[in-house]
C-alpha cells in the first residue's frame, strides 16, 4: 500500500493555510490541493497499470464488432437453414452457410485491416 502520508500532510498544510489566510484564499488553496491530488492519483494509476503489465499511457483497444456479427450470423442462420433446407435441399443449405461464412470472413478481414484484431 502506498504511503498516504504526503497527501495527508498536504491536506493539513492546506487547511492550516486556509485558517491563516482566511476564506478569501480558499478557492486558490483548494485548487492547489486538487492539482496535487490529481498528480498523486495519476501516479498510483500508472503504478497499478505497470503492476498488471499494461503499458503506461497506452489505452486498451476498443471493442470490435465481432461478437454482434457472430451472434447475428447464428441468429439469422437458424431460420435461413430451415428455409434453405426446405426449398433448396442440400444446395440451399450450402448456399446459406457459404454466404454466412463469407460475411463473417469479410467482417473479420475488415477488423484486421483497421489494426484492431478480432476480440471475441
In angstroms, the Cα distances linking 114 to 43, 59, 68, 69, 120 are 32, 16, 17, 16, 16
Grid cell in block for residue 51: 503492476
Cell of 81: 437453414
Residues 6+ apart with CB under 8 A from 17: 25, 29
Distance separating alpha carbons of residues 48 and 5, to the nearest angstrom: 19
Model pLDDT for residues 56-111, shown as the tens digit of each residue: 555 555 555 677 887 888 888 888 889 888 888 889 889 988 988 998 888 888 87
HSE, side-chain direction, 13 A CA sphere, residue 119: 9
HSE-up (13 A, CA, CB side) for residue 116:
17
Average pLDDT over the chain reads: 79
DSSP 24: G
User: Does the pLDDT of residue 118 top 70, yes or no?
Assistant: no
Amino acid at each position: 500500500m502506498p504511503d498516504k502520508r504526503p497527501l495527508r500532510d498536504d491536506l493539513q498544510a492546506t487547511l492550516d493555510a486556509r485558517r491563516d489566510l482566511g476564506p478569501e484564499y480558499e478557492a486558490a488553496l483548494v485548487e492547489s490541493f486538487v492539482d496535487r491530488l490529481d498528480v498523486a492519483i495519476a501516479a498510483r494509476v500508472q503504478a497499478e497499470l505497470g503492476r498488471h503489465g499494461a503499458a503506461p499511457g497506452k489505452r486498451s483497444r476498443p471493442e470490435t464488432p465481432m461478437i454482434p456479427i457472430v451472434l447475428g450470423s447464428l441468429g439469422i442462420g437458424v431460420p435461413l437453414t430451415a428455409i434453405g433446407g426446405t426449398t433448396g435441399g442440400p444446395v440451399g443449405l450450402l448456399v446459406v452457410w457459404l454466404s454466412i461464412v463469407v460475411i463473417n470472413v469479410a467482417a473479420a478481414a475488415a477488423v484486421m485491416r483497421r489494426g484492431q484484431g478480432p476480440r471475441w
